[in-house]
Amino acid sequence: EALTVENLIPRLGQVSAVTDRVGGDPAGWSVTEVGDGNLNLVFIVTGPDGAVIVKQALPYVRLVGDSWPLPLYRAFYEFHALTRQATRDPGSVPEIYHFDEVQALIVMEYLSPHVILRTKLIAGEQVAGLGQRLGEFCARTAFRGSELCMKSAEKKADLALFSGSVEIPAITEALIFRDPYFAAEMNHHTKGLDPVVAHLRSDVAMKEQVQHLFRTFSAKAETMCHGDLHSGSAMCTDTQTRVIDPEFVFYGPMGFDLGMLVANYLMAYFSQPAHRSADSLNAYQEWILQVIIETVDTFMAEFKALWAAERTGMLYDRSQFEDQGHSSDNARDALLDEIWSDALGFCGIEMHRRILSLAHNADFEAIDDVAIRAPLEARNLMMGRDLILRRDMVADVRRLSDIARQFNGE
């Protein structure tokens, strides 16, 4: 039964996980619906002692309506993803107070005064330590959710658990990997982009690479990915960052979350000329590039540190490969190269789908004047193409920043 502002207190007013934190007489609580995402209901419940978030899955895609049904069991997977992320990267995600599987609802920590990262990026605000925090999150969850670290039986049990989530990855498969590359029914794009869209959809070499990346997404079930790590899935103050909303959790490639995240930073970067005045534009865009550099540098450094300290799983087992030739170090570096290449490919595809497919993002959508929006989106699309095609040739994140500056100047 869907929660409403009216029925939430009668239904949750006696649940100790809520009453303990909100306090006082439930009749005096304030309940506000704040969900602005594509799928769920989200309420803030506030009382004299504090506040909690109540998130409930709806049996359909909120963005589209009840013509697109979606199983409620995604709340179950979100709950299990959050518990694992909390263990693998303590403090990174909201604390869970209560989970009701039948009602598909999670009661969790109210993050305050945090706001959605995308909102801050559009407003031109900086977040100290952003790149470090999200780089650590990506590295720790990628490493500690894999057989580099987990016991093989435990990882295989989790792989089996999360493989029960079918309809949610199907959204990613369709909206991210397929729809951008043909005239799918729910697609839409900004007036004025038709020539660029036609160019991309007739680019045989690029579309071949998209198909390889789709296979990588589907076949490389190596770690538990957040699955939807965009700038709407991080909440920040000026100095703190937390990750939310892992209902798209799946077992996939170690570079997936990193690539999605970098794509969303880049979309913030390319959209800035419409949000900033000339005197602050360059400095803010350069700050975003520094965040990208900090994110990727931290990812690489943290992954290497975990490799040295926590390689307790089946893969790259140091007891079997103690040689003078440093075979494990070489294997680590080759693996990081592979993660980087995959991440760049997924990054390029995410940059495409947010302009061409169903679910766009506010970085560009908030630009009312389509004559301003279209050329900025075109830069973003063309850089996405470049990354898909040349992902093995972008040596490192500094080179990636240079490529972004180059497309930004075109």
Contacting positions for ligand SR1 (CB under 6 A):
38-39, 61, 63, 171-172, 175, 228, 359
Nearer Cβ to Mg ion, position 34 or 393?
Answer: 34
For the chain, how big is the Rg over CA atoms in Å? Answer: 21
Closest approach of ligand SR1 to the CB of residue 406, in Å: 28
Nearest residue to Mg ion by CB is 245
Find which of Mg ion, ligand SR1, none residue 142 binds, CB within 5 to 8 Å per kind.
Answer: none
Residue 249 near residue 226, CB atoms below 8 Å: yes
Nearest distance in Å: CB 353, ligand SR1: 8
Nearer to ligand SR1, 38 or 119 (CB): 38
Q: Residue 283 binds which one of ligand SR1, Mg ion, none, with CB within 5 to 8 A depending on kind?
A: none
Contact 52, 108 (CB under 8 A): yes
Select from Mg ion, ligand SR1, none the partner in contact with residue 359, using the beta carbon and a kind-dependent cut-off of 5 to 8 Å.
ligand SR1
Please report how close the Cβ of residue 24 comes to ligand SR1 at its closest, in angstroms.
34
Nearer to ligand SR1 by C-beta: 85 or 285?
85
Location of structure tokens 């990208």: 292
Least distance to ligand SR1 from the beta carbon of 354, Å?
Answer: 9
Indicate the residue among 63 and 166 with the shorter CB distance to ligand SR1: 63
Determine the Cα–Cα distance for residues 378 and 329; give it in Å rounded to an integer. 40
> 29 to 58, contacts with Mg ion by CB under 5 A?
37
Instruction: Please state whether beta strands 65-69 and 223-225 pair in parallel, antiparallel, or not at all (unpaired).
Output: unpaired
- Type of residue at 192: G
Residue 245 makes contact with Mg ion by CB under 5 A? yes
* Residue 198: other Cβ atoms inside 10 A: 10
Least distance (Å) between residue 259 CB and ligand SR1: 13
Residue 376, judged by CB atoms within 10 A of its CB (0-12, 13-18, 19+), counts as buried
Which one of Mg ion, ligand SR1, none interacts with residue 213, CB within 5 to 8 A by kind?
Answer: none
- What do you get for the CA distance between the two ends of the chain, in Å? 52
The CB-of-248 to ligand SR1 minimum distance in angstroms stands at 6
Binding to Mg ion by residue 257, rule CB under 5 A? no
Nearer to ligand SR1, 134 or 175 (CB): 175
Residue 249 C-beta: closest distance to ligand SR1, Å:
12
Q: How far is the CB of 61 from ligand SR1 (least distance, A)?
A: 5
Query: d(Cα 8, Cα 12) in Å, to the nearest integer?
Result: 6
**Measured from the CB atom, is 63 or 371 closer to ligand SR1?**
63
Q: CB of 265 within 8 A of CB of 351?
A: no
Among ligand SR1, Mg ion, none, partner that 31 touches (CB below 5 to 8 angstroms by kind): none
Q: Which is nearer to ligand SR1, 265 or 407 (CB)?
A: 265
345 binds, among ligand SR1, Mg ion, none (CB under 5 to 8 A by kind): none
Q: Which is nearer to Mg ion, 245 or 257 (CB)?
A: 245
Q: How far is the CB of 172 from ligand SR1 (least distance, A)?
A: 6
For residue 158 the two structure tokens come to 């989790």
Nearer to ligand SR1, 63 or 370 (CB): 63
- What are the b/e assignments for 92-113, b being 16+ CB within 10 Å? bbbebbbbbeebbbbbbbbbee
Residue 363 binding target from Mg ion, ligand SR1, none, CB below 5 to 8 Å by type: none
Cα–Cα dist 141/23, whole Å: 34
* The two three-digit tokens of residue 323, written as one number: 């040689």
Nearest distance from residue 247's CB to Mg ion, in Å?
6
Interior/surface letters 259-278, b for 16+ CB within 10 angstroms, e for the rest: bbbbbbbbbbbbbbbbbbee
Q: List the single partner that 126 binds among ligand SR1, Mg ion, none, CB under 5 to 8 Å by kind.
A: none
Distances (CA, A) of 7 to 11, 30, 33, 35: 6, 12, 12, 17
Site size for Mg ion (CB under 5 A)? 2
Prior bond of 113 cis (ω within 30°): yes
Pick the closest to residue 383 from 365, 362, 409 (CA basis): 409
Give the nearer residue to Mg ion in terms of CB position, either 89 or 245. 245
Cα separation, 104 vs 20, in Å, equals 21
Residues that bind Mg ion (CB under 5 A): 37, 245
